[in-house]
Amino acid sequence: MKLIITRHGETDENRKGILQGHLQGKLSKLGIEQAKKLALRLKNEKIDAIYSSDLARASDTAIEIAKFHPNAKLYLVKELREKNQGSLSGKLISEIDWNKPRDTEKKESMLKRVKKIFDEVYKKYQGKTAVFVSHGGTIRILLSLLLNKSIEELKKMDSLSNTSVSIFEIKEDNNHNLILFNCTKHLD
């Protein structure tokens, strides 16, 4: 299976430095433009299914992609949501005391839900192409699964850009091939 992974377009909340978590988020003017450019980039891909977080910032991005793929099924799923940030959601990132105990979702919970949707999609779309539209934290969890790396190792990577494209060739033996990573050439 070919798996294309992308992050949603920029949101008004991203611009303001607000931690979104499970908040819907609203694509900014730039975010809408990024989503349209991403859709044009993926226009010639033979896409069989688009799986997106059901949060508005991701689903609005996925809808732009789907415009060029009327035969692809579009699924809005909770499993691809960003990390639940609990009571930190909606707060300015610069004002959060990260040393205090938090009521946020645990990595193990995220890993479980991301693995669940990945396994379902792989089983259903073997030999085909699927797109995941998600969020930075969730994509890192997915990358830890696909690259067989710890989440701590992945924290050292550059942050994932809005509407960046990463492509994997998914193999049954779990020796997946990374074809493209965090590419934003469509935004130039």
Question: What residue ranges do the domains of the chain occupy?
Answer: 2-84+104-187
The answer to whether 5 and 129 have CB atoms below 8 angstroms apart is no
Q: 8, 22, 176, 186: which is the annotated catalytic residue?
A: 8
* Residue 186 annotated among the catalytic residues of the structure: no
Q: At what angle do helices 56-66 and 29-42 cross, to 10 degrees?
A: 40
- The domain over range 2-84+104-187 is classified in CATH as 3.30.530.20: no
- Prediction pTM value: 0.95
Helix, strand, or coil (residue 177): strand
- pLDDT digits over 98-155, tens only? 988 889 999 999 999 999 999 999 999 999 999 999 999 999 999 999 999 887 887 7
- Of the residues 69, 135, 176, 186, only one is catalytic, namely 135
Question: In which residue are the tokens 């089983």 written?
Answer: 123
Active site residue 8: yes
